[in-house]
Structure 1
Amino acid sequence: MAEWVRHALWWQVYPLGFVGAYPAREPQPGPHPLRRLEAWLDYAIELGASGLALGPVFASETHGYDIVDHLRIDPRLGDDADFDALIAAARRRGLRVLLDGVFNHVGRGHPAFRAVLEQGPAAPTASWFRLTWPQQWQPGVEPQYADFEGHGALVALDHRSSDVRSHVVAVMNHWLERGADGWRLDAAYAVPQEFWAGVLPQVRAAHPDAYLVGEVLHGDYVEFVHGSTVDAVTQYELWKAIWSSLNERNFFELSWALDRHNTFLEAFAPLTFVGNHDVTRVASRLTDERHLAHALAILLTVGGTPSIYAGDEQAFRGVKEDRNAGDDAVRPPFPATPAELAPFGRPTFALHQELIGLRRRHPWLHRARTRVVHLANEQLVYEVSDGSERLVVALNIGDATADLPVPQVRELLAGAAEIRPPAQLRLEPAGWAVASR
């Protein structure tokens, strides 16, 4: 993994929603919407981010994950010149850019699949897909085809095909050459590991500093990293344990997840988060809004590469629903500039700044391990260390003041607590603190 990733902290944006280009199917008149992101880059820096993680920006039929042209910017967003301008604006500010690569499936309107529908089994791209043809095929008859998790609009690629492999290598290299710094590989778990193991080394040969992270929901993370050769995977186990332990007032669940997280860190640095474009926003997920600070304190003091989903730093609400358009509430349009944000999110923004600032001042946290010092249903103290540097994190989600045993600490770095020598921290109800040793 490239050295720069050690310092990476992403601000994740879902562009089609952010600029109000979804669900519109056609480009809107006026300036190209992708340019609106440039007005938010200084905001990302003010937050403390070092990179912009973009959702899909390539030509698609609806939500961005039904791509019809991997080599074209979605016309609802703009064009190549707009992409180049965004990359240049990010570069001037020292921001990295991560792209969202959808290589498990394509939209039905993709030219490779359209050729199949029009030409039948003899189509030159028939090998791109997993197709079942009727015995007596005739023009106008569609084959059966594998799709993504039952979504007929998402046609699964056949990853045994050398043509598909060559296409994905070419696409990834094309946009890295245009200035991107890496790829989030959408639905990486649905793609055979041997496919990634054949593709990613070719990409790294041309772009050795590229960051390649796979979307994996569950399973054996370490085995997937080794088998696929990705740099990292998304840490959904930790995401679930954070909000669930806070809602259930059960830090034993989080303690178990932190032990698991340590085993992952032995092999790789996971992509960590408390929110993204696919899940209910953390401010809506938590049953007690006071615990948003605890969730963020955990995210920004444990090992991994943290990502903040745009709007979470303003305590945006939004609930994902299991229905058509069920993601819309968590993918809303943003105002044209940060100055137009409502004032209600400012305290949450300041909290993010405080903890991200702490994270950036302690880059060793990227591969640090945690050790639980004190554990109860409503209180948790853990030490985080890379072997030489150490911090202590104390959390109280109870409704009473708590005196917690801690390793000897020197000063408070974030949060609020009373240091009570020789080895105790007093936290107020729903209190939290990060201290140095």
Structure 2
Amino acid sequence: MSKYKLQFCCYALGILMFSTACSSSETNDQEMEKEHKIVVYQVFTRLFGNTNTTNKPWGTVEENGVGKFNDFTGKALQEIRGLGVTHIWYTGVPHHAVIRDYTAYGISNDDPDVVKGRAGSPYAVKDYYQVSPDLAVDPAQRMEEFEALIARTHSHGMKVIIDIVPNHVARKYEGLNNPSGVRDFGADDDTSVAYHRENNFYYIPGEPFKVPAPLDGYQPLGGEQHPLADGKFDENPAKWTGNGSRDPQPHFYDWYETVKVNYGVKPDGSKDFPELPEGFDKKDYKAHFEFWKGQEVPSSWKKFKDIAIFWIEKGVDGFRYDMAEMVPVEFWSYMNSAIKMKNPEAFLLAEIYNPKAYRDYIHLGKMDYLYDKVELYDTLKNIIQGKGSTDNIIPIQAGLADIGKHMLHFLENHDEQRIASPEFAGKAEKAKPAAVISATIDQGPMMMYFGQEVGEPGAEDAGFGKPSRTSIFDYIGVPHHQRWVNEGKFDGGQLSEEEKGLRDFYKRLLNLIGKSPAMGGAYQEIHSHNRQHTDWYNDKVFSYVRWSDIQRLLVVSNFDADSSFGFDLQVPAELILAWALADGTYEVEEKLYGRAKAKLHVVEGKGRIRVDLEPLESWILELPG
């Protein structure tokens, strides 16, 4: 027996011995009732409840409509919860720059020259102590309406996540709702220097800001006349742009609608703040919190920590942090430890795309979860598009084995192409096997984007936003999703049979993972074993086992959209030994749809199960206890 197999066998036998020692029918029942997997449902708040179907490019609220906090009725939340959702990420809640006149509410108008789209980017936040007026039935009561939504969400058994974007703020930031004693971003900056530790922004002294030169005939608001759309914006001296551009006239593809926040990183990249002592990657958030007590930290650190605590005290349960890796990891230690001291159960998710930094942001930055975009998502997308092999999943999971429970999986979000778009897969059903793998392959959370469950293709030319992604910059409708909304009934009354079937698939899958103790347990791929020993098993199929002390699941998925596969799936001898299965025949139950019947045959300590997979079909088999 190889060293690897011996280690694996001992580990599995250890789990089995623990199971024998402490399990009981009562404990098992309790474990089956618990939720074993976090399921995040991302909603673009402005779009979710909009039932207007006009979809005019660059359309106004009056023309194209806009969703509200109040659209998340008890019925809507009940249906979201019924999908198996545990957390709702309400995207676009903090007040961001928008081209709409709210001066009657004391809000200044924003300049179309430094706003993307008419509805504006939710990642160009204008006031962190207030919510978007677009989202309220009565903008004067917008905070109260959001507080009511928090309470409704909690009453339906789900937690609330919102965005915080520490790397940058809107070009025209105006904190009109700051709590007493809170100074605005940049209010005390010395603008005569490029950098000072206590400055909130970086500056280009002596240089005024210039609006980017437009590309491809672009005109703000699609060319509509607007008193502020004059190709100018008053900012002198110019600030660095959000993505780090130091040019007073950023490029059109820079994040020109935002300015970069200074966290005490000098222009040469050196750090102007205390660093964490060696070994702090192994210390908990309490130790991190104690470390920062009495330390001198940059002004921007304190401002964003106060913002996060403000929302935690409002009842928000956690945050999705935009472009977290563009902010130093020490700041995250400082802020996240403070959040955890207020709410130890807070959900902290980082958008991050650099695998080399993953462990620092988890262990030093005290993030709970990270986007698993450049590894599992990109690999699955390639397989769906016929450009990759399922063999490539194995090294991905092996490389993340020590942090798998921290990796959040998804197939759609607001930045990515819709699965059903021609640019991705052209058909939502093609992602079914990838969805099963994303949801079941490890302990990390699974995330869904609203409309994914009914095959929304993101086909609208919304204005600033173009097809394949549902626009985050425009007032627009989301047609397939709107058929499920069904004029506010939230009953799927207008869905086609195909769309109903897709939603049923996701509902089955997400509820299954929530109720499966194996999702909190171990993982072992059996794909490579079957590639070597099983006829008709190829790199369009992928298989693995998940198990806990009371449940054993075998997952096998077929990515081929055209071909079915029938084969005897092999269960390696070390697993049969670890599970203490004697030679014989065992009934095996398929848990996703319950239609497939199978038997596990154990002969001379080796297992095999006859599997007959239709195109794009997955089986989640529960093995005998």
Q: Report the TM range for the smaller structure's normalisation.
A: 0.7 to 0.9
Match of 1:354 in 2: 508
Q: Give the secondary structure class of the aligned counterpart of 2:257.
A: strand
Structure 2 Cα separation of the partners of residues 255 and 95 of structure 1? 33
Structure 2 Cα separation of the partners of residues 136 and 189 of structure 1? 29
Check 1:92–1:271 CA distance in 2 against 1; reply closer, same or farther (3 A cut).
Answer: same
Match of 2:592 in 1: 414
TM-score of the aligned structures, taking structure 1 as reference length:
0.87
- Is the 8 Å Cα contact of residues 362 and 369 (structure 2) preserved in structure 1? yes
Deviation at 1:312, TM superposition (A): 0.6
**AA partner of residue 202 (structure 1):** A
1:95-110 correspondence to structure 2 within 5 Å: 95-110=158-173
Q: How many residues align?
A: 428
Match of 2:299 in 1: 163
Structure 1 Cα separation of the partners of residues 570 and 417 of structure 2? 34
Residue among 340, 354, 367 paired with 1:230: 367
Match of 2:431 in 1: 292
Match of 1:14 in 2: 44
Structure 1 Cα separation of the partners of residues 191 and 361 of structure 2? 36
User: Which shifted more, 333-342 or 53-62?
Assistant: 333-342
Deviation at 1:400, TM superposition (A): 3.5
Residue among 244, 247, 252 paired with 2:382: 244
Check 1:156–1:328 CA distance in 2 against 1; reply closer, same or farther (3 A cut).
Answer: farther
Check 1:75–1:153 CA distance in 2 against 1; reply closer, same or farther (3 A cut).
Answer: same
Matching of residue 33 in structure 1 with residue 171 in structure 2: no
What runs of 5+ residues in structure 1 fail to find an aligned partner? none
Deviation at 1:7, TM superposition (A): 4.1
Q: Give the secondary structure class of the aligned counterpart of 2:134.
A: coil
Deviation at 1:125, TM superposition (A): 11
- Is the 8 Å Cα contact of residues 556 and 620 (structure 2) preserved in structure 1? yes
User: Which shifted more, 422-431 or 366-375?
Assistant: 366-375
Deviation at 1:60, TM superposition (A): 0.7
Residue among 72, 79, 98 paired with 2:130: 72
- Higher Cα radius of gyration: 2
- Is the 8 Å Cα contact of residues 247 and 288 (structure 1) preserved in structure 2? no
Write 1 or 2 for the structure with the bigger share of strand.
1
Tell me the alpha carbon deviations over residues 62-88 of structure 1, each in whole angstroms, 9 at most, x when there is no partner: 121100100101111121111111011
- Is the 8 Å Cα contact of residues 271 and 306 (structure 1) preserved in structure 2? yes
Q: Give the secondary structure class of the aligned counterpart of 1:278.
A: coil
Match of 1:50 in 2: 86
**AA partner of residue 610 (structure 2):** L
Structure 2 Cα separation of the partners of residues 142 and 5 of structure 1? 53
Match of 1:148 in 2: 243
Deviation at 1:362, TM superposition (A): 1.0
Deviation at 1:356, TM superposition (A): 1.3
What runs of 5+ residues in structure 2 fail to find an aligned partner? 1-33, 98-119, 137-141, 175-183, 210-233, 245-253, 265-296, 472-476, 532-537, 572-585, 602-607
Structure 1 Cα separation of the partners of residues 46 and 350 of structure 2? 21
- Is the 8 Å Cα contact of residues 129 and 146 (structure 1) preserved in structure 2? no
1:262-341 correspondence to structure 2 within 5 Å: 262-265=401-404, 268-284=405-421, 285-286=424-425, 289-303=428-442, 304-318=444-458, 324-326=464-466, 329-331=469-471, 332-333=477-478, 334=482, 335=485, 336-337=487-488, 338-339=490-491
Structure 2 Cα separation of the partners of residues 199 and 366 of structure 1? 28
Residue among 540, 552, 563 paired with 1:378: 540
Deviation at 1:402, TM superposition (A): 2.1
- Is the 8 Å Cα contact of residues 558 and 618 (structure 2) preserved in structure 1? yes
Check 1:291–1:55 CA distance in 2 against 1; reply closer, same or farther (3 A cut).
Answer: same
Tell me the alpha carbon deviations over residues 172-231 of structure 1, each in whole angstroms, 9 at most, x when there is no partner: 111111111111111111111111112111121122221111111232222321231111
Deviation at 1:101, TM superposition (A): 1.1
Structure 2 Cα separation of the partners of residues 405 and 395 of structure 1? 12
Greater relative contact order (CA < 8 Å, ≥ 6 in sequence): 2
Q: Give the secondary structure class of the aligned counterpart of 1:356.
A: helix
- Is the 8 Å Cα contact of residues 589 and 596 (structure 2) preserved in structure 1? no
Q: Give the secondary structure class of the aligned counterpart of 1:410.
A: strand
Percent identity at matched positions? 18
Matching of residue 189 in structure 1 with residue 325 in structure 2: yes
Q: Give the secondary structure class of the aligned counterpart of 2:542.
A: strand
Deviation at 1:367, TM superposition (A): 5.5
